[in-house]
Amino acid sequence: MIAPLATSLEQMIKAQAFGLGFDLVGITTLGPVETSAAFEDWLASGYAGDMAYLARGAEKRADTRRPVPGTTSAIVVGMDYGGREPAGPVARYARGDDYHDVMIDRLNALHRYVDTVVGRQIPGKAYVDTGPILERDLARRAGLGWFGKNTMLINPRLGSFFFLGELLLDLELAPDAPFEADRCGTCRRCLDACPTNAFPEPRVLDATRCISYLTIELKGDIDEALRPVIGDRLYGCDVCQEVCPWNVQFSRGLVEPAFGARAAIANKDSRTLAREILAMRDEDFQAAFRGSPMKRAKLRGLQRNASAVLSAAESRDSGALDDRRLNDSSGLAES
């Protein structure tokens, strides 16, 4: 009789994470953050724009043991949000329910599972894009991918259309090997495709020129010089991910129902959605986008974006009309 193979705690945790709907999972040991100095330099360069909150918690950010004292390990997860979904006026990540809520609930469920398996309550805390944690650094150390030239974490089996989250625990766990390779090579498609030239160099993003920042985080008016190139993007931008060969080859269709487009967005082109948003009152906005990441821009931000989208569309229409008139007059001149 062949004895069954022993299953480690780490294997059990990963199996449970996949069962909860996560698409990637790795484990790393907490400690000093390799990219902390680069992040501080990025802030000092002014690339964060109005996002002053990013500067908070620098001391904790420099060491992942500090946000939750006593924790020693991190279970880092990724959840796919459907890179094969068609492009549209709203970035793919924001079309459904707020990923913070979806992932925190499941990370808390994973925490309860760890408590049950270990037989005691394990101190710890789940984070999803919150708190003074450089998540990409943790994810790379947990073996989930490398930093692409567009600054996104890229996984060789999944691309980059996924969210990151982590569960910090006061529990010694065997870490996975970090992802050491850089698989971007000489490719620079993401850099060249950016409509606003938001990458001053590979792996450095000037957020003040990024369409996602301009349509979500920026509180004031959008620079007039940048409005035409924003085009029909009403909330966020996926261009640097769409052109990445790793996403072209390996991104997936939408599987998680929570991230499917809600009725207020689904199957609407940019002009239709822009007009509907401009007609909204606050109560309409609250009802349409309850539990949506799009609430971050608030109604006034979305209406600013909607106005920019319609203005850009009118300019394109006017230019196309002028071209047709020119062609028509050229034809008459020849007859």
Task: Give the DSSP per-residue string, 15-44.
Answer: HHHHHTT-SEEEEEE--B-TTHHHHHHHHH
Of 5-9, 118-122, 152-156, 301-305, the least confident: 5-9
Q: What are phi and psi of 89, to 5 degrees?
A: -70, -15
What would the pLDDT profile of 136-179 be if each residue is shown by its tens digit?
Answer: 999 999 999 999 999 999 999 999 999 999 999 999 999 999 99
Segment 235-271, tens digit of pLDDT: 999 999 999 999 999 999 999 999 999 999 999 999 9
Quick one: pLDDT at residue 318? 67
Residues of the chain above pLDDT 90, percent = 90
Q: Give the number of other Cβ atoms within 10 Å of residue 75's Cβ.
A: 29
Residue entry with tokens 């938001």:
198
CA distance from start to end of the chain: 94
Which residues is 4 bridged to in the sheet? none
Q: Hey, CA dihedral for 249, 203, 212, 152, is it positive or negative?
A: positive
Tokens of 124: 């710890």
pLDDT digits (tens, 9 = 90+) for 55-71: 999 999 999 999 999 99
Specify the DSSP class assigned to residue 120: S
Pairing of strands 153-154, 24-29: unpaired
Q: What is the pLDDT of residue 7?
A: 83
Rounded Cα gap, residues 290 and 96, in angstroms? 10
The region that residue 99 occupies, defined by phi over 0 for left and psi between -120 and 50 for alpha, beta otherwise, is alpha
Q: What is the mean pLDDT of the chain?
A: 94
pLDDT at position 1, please?
46
Q: Between vectors from CA 268 to CA 86 and to CA 259, what angle results, nearest 5°?
A: 55
- HEC per residue, 204-244: ECCHHHCHHHHHHHCCCCCCCCCHHHHCCCCECCCHHHHCC
pLDDT of residue 324: 55
pLDDT tier for residue 315 given thresholds of 50, 70 and 90: confident
Catalytic-labelled residue, pool 115, 129, 170, 284: 129
Residue 114, SS3 per DSSP? helix
* Interatomic CA distance for residues 199 and 184, integer angstroms: 15
State mean pLDDT over 216-222: 95
C-alpha to C-alpha distance for 187 and 104, rounded to whole angstroms: 35
Residue 6 confidence (pLDDT): 61
Tell me, yes or no, if 129 is annotated catalytic.
Answer: yes
Q: Is there a contact between 159 and 251 (Cβ–Cβ < 8 Å)?
A: yes
